[in-house]
Amino acid sequence: MLNFNTGLRKISFSLLSIALGSSVLLTPLPALSQNQEVQKGDMKVTGSGKSTVELLPDSLGEKWRATGPPRALNSAEWIILPDADVYGEYGLQRLISRIYSDGTTKASIEIFEMSYASGAFGLFTFNRNSLSSNRQEFHAGRYLVSIAGERNDKPIDPILIESLKKQFASELGQLPFLPSHLPEQHKIAGSEKYLIGSASLARVKGFSDLKDVINFEGGVEAITADYQNGIGRMSLIIVEYHTPQTATEGLLRASRYFESLSPSEKERRIFKRVGNYVVQAINVNDHREAAGIVNQIKYNPKVYWEGQKLSDIPIAFRPPDPAAVEEATKTMKILIRSFYWIGAMLSVSILLGMVAGGFYFYWRRYRRRKLGLEDIFSDAGGSVRLNLNAYLLPPGESSVKQIGDGKQ
């Protein structure tokens, strides 16, 4: 990949000195933001980000102290810088920088606030092979942190780096799924580059000629990596299209370009489609080994939505809210326990009723037997029964005796 960062730092130094009123920034880079900034005391904040002092506090570790206030580039300032289109593709919103000193040396720290975690990851992979010897970078959530030492011959203090990592330890985010589909066999560690636009693709050595072939509209993304192949170094790119229709269109565009190449150039390339992936390998020395690597690529789609909160995801694709799921689970457990104990108490009540009723029945029988009343019939619970069977009229008697005057 072209070392464009070095040129950027040389060209844009004077421009940033004017824009920020400071000449101590070591690596000025562009910032893209759609949010209007508001003032809160000495802190600049945006609607979606933390304040500059929260990101870069007055002290880091035990001995690193800030030499001045933090500086921020907004959307009106990054546009004049070279290579701004690359950083715009990755969704850069703000660049916050601050100078620190431990009393003997200085270090410049820059925080790249991106729209999404995938943008921070992509910019990290894009920059890492072109960093100067006195610079280190890491990504956390949607932030890319860059630390530059004052001297090229002196390594950066590990305590400063660890303090920064602790500062961003709570930042989380969904990383791209596509890089996990790169074959691991013979892959050169640290050679991966995650791309989401033609501007960044145009600066990747070996694949810059595809900048007008690959259409990145509709969320198309790509991942590149280098592999040991024979006695040389092979480069591989996987382009993911999110529908079969766009994949067919992308394959057609790539096929036309492939057919326009010379026979010798075709011999050093492998070109195929895997599901919604369009795969190309260039600088192939050992075709058999390269084909074995390419054949390890399997299409396994995974759909995810990026955002800073759940409402950023359309309702039709929104996963369950973890808090709502937890609350519903607790409510369900309470209902289950309630019905369980209600059923248990009903069962116990019925059982106790049967025991008490049986005990009372047999106790009364015992009492009647003891009092000699067992042979006296009573079908009315112990009440007196009027038996008129002995007072029936004799057979053939047809007269009826009337009691009273019959007016009642």
Structure tokens, 24? 């101590």
Q: What are phi and psi of 343, to 5 degrees?
A: -60, -40
* Gyration radius (Cα) of the chain, Å: 42
Read off the pLDDT of residues 133-148 as tens digits, 9 standing for 90 and up: 889 999 998 899 999 9
Give, as one character, the DSSP assignment of residue 208. G
Residue 31 has pLDDT above 80, yes or no: no
Residue 6's pLDDT band, with cuts at 50, 70 and 90, is very low
Higher pLDDT, 24 or 316: 316
Residue 374 has pLDDT above 50, yes or no: yes
Residue 9 has pLDDT above 80, yes or no: no
Residue 304's pLDDT band, with cuts at 50, 70 and 90, is low
Residue 35's pLDDT band, with cuts at 50, 70 and 90, is very low
Residue 39 has pLDDT above 50, yes or no: no
pLDDT at 399: 55
- How far apart CA 399 and CA 383 sit, in angstroms, is 33
Using CB atoms within 10 Å of the CB of residue 274, give its burial: 0 to 12 exposed, 13 to 18 middle, 19+ buried. middle
- Interval 203-217 mean pLDDT: 91
- Interval 184-197 mean pLDDT: 93
Cα–Cα separations (whole angstroms), residue 319 to 308, 322, 377? 14, 9, 75
- Interval 153-175 mean pLDDT: 87
Mean pLDDT over each residue of the chain, to the nearest integer:
79
Read off the pLDDT of residues 278-298 as tens digits, 9 standing for 90 and up: 999 999 999 999 999 999 999
The structure tokens 């960044």 sit at 200
Read off the pLDDT of residues 385-401 as tens digits, 9 standing for 90 and up: 666 665 555 665 555 55
pLDDT at 7: 41
Read off the pLDDT of residues 337-350 as tens digits, 9 standing for 90 and up: 999 999 999 999 99
pLDDT at 34: 32
* Half-sphere exposure of residue 26: CA atoms within 13 angstroms, side-chain side: 21
Least confident stretch, 13-27, 122-136, 206-220, 320-334: 13-27
Give me the residue spans of the domains in the chain. Answer: 1-173, 176-337
Q: Using a pLDDT cut of 90, give the percent of the chain over it.
A: 43
Residue 4's pLDDT band, with cuts at 50, 70 and 90, is very low
Structure tokens, 322? 């973890």
Amino acid at 98: R
Read off the pLDDT of residues 349-365 as tens digits, 9 standing for 90 and up: 999 999 998 888 888 88
pLDDT at 174: 81
pLDDT at 5: 43
DSSP 278-301: EEEEES-S-HHHHHHHHTT-----
pLDDT at 93: 87
Residue 40 has pLDDT above 90, yes or no: no
Read off the pLDDT of residues 310-333 as tens digits, 9 standing for 90 and up: 666 666 666 666 777 888 888 999
